[in-house]
Amino acid sequence: MGSRKFILVLCFITIIFFATSLQLFNEVYRKTNTVIDELFHIRQGKAFCEQNFTSWDPKITTLPGLYLVTSLYNSLGIACNTYNLRFINLIGSCINLLLFATLLKFTYGSVLSSQTQIVLQALNFAFLPPLYFFSFVYYTDTLSLMFLLLFTISCVVFKSKGLVFVFGLSSVMMRQTNVLWVAMVLGHKILDLLIRTSRVFGNQHLSGLHVGKHSLLAKDIDSSKLKRYYAIQDVFIALRYHLSTCFMTIFKFLTVSDAIMIVQNLLVLIFFSVFVYVNGSIVVGDKTAHQATIHLPQLFYFLLFYGVFGLPYVLTKLPTTLKLIYTNRIRVILFVIAILIIVHYNTLAHPYLLADNRHYTFYIWNRWFGRYVYAKYLLAPVYVFLLFSLYDNLKDQNCVSFLLPYSICLMLSLALQKLLDIRYFLVPYIILRLRFVKPSALLISVEFLWYLAINFATFYIFFTKEIKWTEFEESQRIIW
């Protein structure tokens, strides 16, 4: 009965989501035929539709996954015009809603009794303002996330014996940085196996007992599939134990399905490594504009992203976060000092950020960071507060086997990017948001209203604010 209700509610919400979004989609199309980088994407998409796979616009830096998908239009008899090219992302956003619901239902299991709450929470994910906006234009973000979600579900829900590789490689074809999240899933699985096998077979107090891989000690997991009782010291204990046994006991714990999944993940990483070697860079097209640069403040900007779009969760945890900060006063002071040093020596501004007034980041930077010398220093306490707030939202339902691979991949994903682009924060935030503790119905409602207000404001600005660029006949508009 619960599954039937879940499917009915999900179908109903998805239909409403699509019907409402379609009206907005048509209005976006009516207002403008080209939104910033669509100038390159649409041209490239049309070339692939004409089966011209050798043509490549040097301004495009991502792999051709998006254009390969829409190249199928030709064989399906669908016209490759701007409307239809954009429409693929509207369909993708509806699929993402279904995928979010599937993933949340698996994650919470029987903990979340209300099927409606799961679906409404999935709706909030699909409604996340920067993600939702790119459902209406021909950019890579929506399908990039879609294939990443399909990859995740194949790994953790269905443990597919073939689709893990297909979806993993497809997500990388949409956007190269997705390879880091493929690596994160692999790292999470391997680290979890290392720790659990060391606990079962390496505990000196249990060495005289027969402890199987199906024991409570081996499982060590609650019904929400979020919580593990692993700390950082467990990693060192596991490594010490497995080095002493040449990692042989891990095979006592390794199931066939896990082994197949690990091999598929490794194949994605191998294929990507070959691409980087042949291409000479992770970037295709305009390599000079996207060179890897150490830029640690990107991690602080990510905290601001969490503070804005996770505001309901920040406020809900405010009392406990403040208590946490008070009990860690020395660490707070040290964090503030470290952040001040980092922002002083490592704050960078990409030329695109300074010159392109069609993005919100342009106005944030030029009216705050770029205008006042002290601006970047004043936010140091805010960064620390948000760091503790994020930890407060994660600490009770996560463990080091997730947080360690995630933190490494987050560093590689953000801290090597010179350009400040809000879209870079989408996947890292969604991954963390999926790990938050089960929200109440009130919190889900507040989050929805908050996103509704932001989306209303951003689309109002998009529709009413016009910017004239001499090289474009059509008026330009402000987007994320």
Q: What is the pLDDT of residues 329-352, one digit of tens each?
A: 999 999 999 999 999 999 999 988
pLDDT band at 207 (very low <50, low <70, confident <90, very high): very low
% of the chain at pLDDT higher than 90: 69
**pLDDT at position 214:** 55
**pLDDT at position 451:** 98
For 109-141, the pLDDT digits (tens) are 755 458 889 999 999 999 999 999 999 999 999
Torsional class of 36: left (φ above 0), alpha (ψ -120 to 50), beta (otherwise): left
**pLDDT at position 205:** 44
**pLDDT at position 76:** 92
Across residues 364-379, what is the average pLDDT? 91
- The answer on pLDDT for 208 being more than 60 is no
For 217-275, the pLDDT digits (tens) are 445 444 455 556 677 888 888 888 888 888 888 887 788 888 999 999 999 999 999 99
What is the rounded CA–CA span in Å between residue 316 and residue 403? Answer: 22
| Residue linked to tokens 């579900």 | 153
**pLDDT at position 159:** 77
Kindly report the average pLDDT of the chain as a whole number: 90
- The answer on pLDDT for 215 being more than 60 is no
Q: Which residues, 6+ apart, have CB-to-CB distance to 42 below 8 Å?
A: 34, 82, 85, 138
What is the helix, strand, coil percentage profile of the chain, to 5? Answer: 70, 0, 30
Across residues 171-177, what is the average pLDDT? 96
- Quick one: CA torsion of 357, 310, 337, 335, rounded to 10 degrees? -150
**pLDDT at position 247:** 83
The phi, psi pair for 15, rounded to 5°, reads -65, -45
Task: Name the residue among 133, 139, 146, 145 with its Cα closest to residue 28.
Answer: 133
Across residues 458-467, what is the average pLDDT? 95
309 vs 197, higher pLDDT: 309
440-478 burial code (b ≥16 CB/10 A, e <16): eeebbebbbebbeebbeebbeebeeeeeeeeeeeeebbb
**pLDDT at position 173:** 97
- The answer on pLDDT for 478 being more than 50 is yes
**pLDDT at position 63:** 94
* CA 109 to the chain's CA centroid: 22
Across residues 184-210, what is the average pLDDT? 75
Number of neighbouring beta carbons within 10 Å of residue 172: 26
Across residues 393-402, what is the average pLDDT? 84
Across residues 20-49, what is the average pLDDT? 95
